[in-house]
Amino acid sequence: MKFLQRLPRLLFRPACGTPLHISRTAIRHSSSSSSSAPQKTFYTLFPRSIPCGAPPRGPFDIDLRALQREFFTLQQISHPDVSSRQSPAAADDVDSSYINHAYSTLRDPLSRAVYLLSLHGMDVAEDTGMGMDDKELLMEVLEAHEVIEEARKREDLEVLEREAKDRVLESEKAVGEACEGGDWEAARKEAVRLRYRRNVKEAVAAWEEGKPVVLMH
């Protein structure tokens, strides 16, 4: 029972290198989705690599190599020493830290989904209670935790490791389809599912013989 009580806190930590928390500053840079004016978002910083913009108008998946190239270009342009050669982003006084945050958010499917949901008034970045009513997901996580806890050698986790990877890919695809279809409630539920599954995957990857199961920092 103690484990069940701690489950939301254990599994809703941000994944390593995943900027799940969308800062208030970032949200202020983005206008409300109901505004009649063109919406300025992280997506509008990268017109070359994301020409169609945010879902549902554009696809959820992003060409990460193209995004990286455009990111490097923006970083160069935003540098004070080259301010005379401005891009639309530089002209809008977008600083380097904002460009960094936009890039790190969009390059990861989970943080990208969380950001898109925030643009539609859904804050799933810090709500640790979501997902507990999903009985199927809850059982999936509990069973995974049991396998990890009982493992005595790396080979004991091979099946779970494959399953965890497949489940993460499944949720990434599902959240992308929901965003592309403009079904934000479905996207919210799948983003929560993806977060659970990603933490299971990382717990498997971090397993070491003789050490207890750790699902949080």
Same domain? For 30 and 111 the reply is yes
Domain that holds residue 32: 24-119
Output the pLDDT for position 76: 86
Whether 211 is covered by a domain: the verdict is: no
Whether 4 is covered by a domain: the verdict is: no
Same domain? For 40 and 110 the reply is yes
Output the pLDDT for position 172: 98
Same domain? For 72 and 148 the reply is no
Same domain? For 48 and 104 the reply is yes
Output the pLDDT for position 134: 81
How would you write the pLDDT of the chain (217 residues) with one tens digit per residue? Answer: 444 444 443 343 334 334 444 443 443 444 333 334 456 899 999 999 999 999 999 999 999 999 999 999 998 887 655 554 454 444 455 688 899 999 999 999 999 999 999 999 998 876 555 666 788 998 999 999 999 999 999 999 999 999 999 999 999 999 999 999 999 999 999 999 999 999 999 999 998 876 666 554 3
Same domain? For 88 and 139 the reply is no
Domains of the chain: total: 2
Whether 210 is covered by a domain: the verdict is: no
Please report, for the domain that includes residue 164, its CATH number. 1.20.1280.20
Output the pLDDT for position 19: 41
Q: 3-state secondary structure string, the chain?
A: CHHHHHHHHHHCCCCCCCCCCCCHHHHHHCCCCCCCCCCCCHHHHCCCCCCCCCCCCCCCCCCHHHHHHHHHHHHHHHCHHHCCCCCHHHHCCCCHHHHHHHHHHHCCHHHHHHHHHHHCCCCCCCCCCCCCCCHHHHHHHHHHHHHHHHCCCHHHHHHHHHHHHHHHHHHHHHHHHHHHCCCHHHHHHHHHHHHHHHHHHHHHHCCCCCCCCCCCC
